[in-house]
């Protein structure tokens, strides 16, 4: 395991409770609600087989199992895999790296990558993870990959009254460099522009690529209102606008998270599929 991967394992094992994230802040509740809605719209009908790569403690995997899907979860962090197995309902789960999936070619109807792309700093590694997702998904199947928007951090700090001089400087840096500075918060991470995410999906061989903004443009209003009397009203409004503006190009990057979707073509041009050895 390389140094960045080891640091991500240490972060999620000792410093951050991922299993408590999605119920906490308005941003996270919007992320959960909208991700589930988008998955239900995009995935083939149950009992389709789903590979959830970077599935964490299994929040989405459990919801999909409850809907009748056959789900297998893979994650870099052993503690997340243990939580996914121990949840209700339990999920079949193993430790694995998104860049080298221990799965056969064409073996799933859809593959989710809701986490690994924003923890891989190098474009080549992100394309490798996407290429692996394409490889294990059958032709005509779907790959859905989440990214964190380039602008999420500064917008979050502004909405929650934490935008100091250092964060303004960081906002300037982020205009040209998507690598997170872990000394400000989070861990090793990469924050995408929409066009980079599309380019990486295309490089991996996906067709019919679309990108949704997950939380919508008003998530920052919900964060700013979180502790006041209008909290629920503003949250509900943010959720409604997230649905309306899900693919509006002028607003997609204002979401905290982006969700790319694409179809695996019959003959993907650049995947790592096994090809017959041409030697006699
Ligand atoms: C923020 S969590 C997201 C969990 C869940 N998919 C969700 O959307 O709520 C990011 C997850 O990606 C996993 N991850 C990061 N890099 C990975 C890699 N190279 N291979 C597999 N999993 C990875 C982390 O261990 C973590 O569980």
Domain count along the chain? 1
Q: What is the pLDDT of residues 217-233, one digit of tens each?
A: 999 999 999 999 999 99
Q: 186-222, pLDDT tens digit by residue?
A: 888 999 999 999 999 999 999 999 999 999 999 999 9
- Domain assignment of residue 144, yes or no: yes
Q: Is residue 207 part of a domain?
A: yes
What is the Cα–Cα distance from 248 to 168, expressed in whole angstroms?
27
CA dist., res. 186 & res. 15, Å (int): 10
Ligand 1 and 57: CB distance under 6 A: no
Choose the residue to mutate in 29, 56, 258 for probing ligand 1, maximizing ligand atoms within 8 Å of C-beta. 56
* Global pTM value: 0.93
For residue 80, give the H/E element and its range: helix 78-86
On whether residue 32 sits in a domain, the answer given is yes
The CATH number of whichever domain residue 9 belongs to comes to 3.40.50.150
- Determine the straight-line distance between the first and last CA of the chain, rounded to whole angstroms: 36
Would 277 be classed as within a structural domain?
Answer: no
Rounded to the nearest angstrom, the distance between the alpha carbon of 114 and the centre of ligand 1 is 7
The domain of 73 spans: 3-263
186 φ/ψ angles, rounded to the nearest 5 degrees: 65, -150
């Amino acid at each position: 395991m390389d140094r960045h991967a080891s640091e991500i394992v240490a972060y999620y094992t000792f410093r951050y409770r991922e299993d408590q994230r999605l119920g906490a802040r308005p941003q996270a509740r919007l992320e959960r609600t909208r991700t589930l809605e988008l998955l239900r719209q995009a995935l083939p009908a149950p009992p389709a087989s789903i590979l959830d790569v970077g599935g964490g403690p299994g929040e989405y995997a459990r919801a999909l199992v409850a809907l009748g899907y056959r789900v297998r979860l893979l994650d870099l962090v052993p503690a997340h895999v243990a939580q996914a197995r121990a949840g209700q309902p339990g999920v079949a789960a193993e430790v694995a790296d998104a860049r080298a999936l221990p799965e056969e070619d064409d073996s799933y109807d859809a593959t989710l990558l809701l986490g690994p792309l924003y923890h891989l700093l190098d474009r080549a590694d992100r394309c490798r993870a996407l290429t692996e997702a394409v490889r294990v998904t059958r032709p005509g199947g779907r790959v859905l990959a989440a990214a964190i928007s380039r602008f999420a951090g500064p917008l979050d700090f502004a909405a929650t009254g934490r935008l100091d001089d250092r964060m303004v400087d960081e906002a300037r840096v982020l205009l040209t460099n998507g690598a997170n500075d872990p000394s400000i918060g989070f861990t090793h991470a990469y924050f995408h522009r929409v066009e980079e995410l599309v380019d990486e999906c295309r490089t991996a061989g996906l067709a019919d690529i679309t990108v949704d903004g997950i939380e919508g443009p008003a998530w920052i209003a919900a964060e700013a209102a979180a502790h006041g009397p209008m909290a629920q009203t503003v949250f509900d409004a943010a959720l409604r606008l997230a649905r309306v503006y899900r693919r509006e190009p002028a607003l997609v990057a204002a979401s905290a998270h982006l969700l790319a979707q694409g179809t695996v073509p019959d003959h993907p041009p650049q995947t790592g599929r096994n090809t017959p050895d041409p030697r006699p």
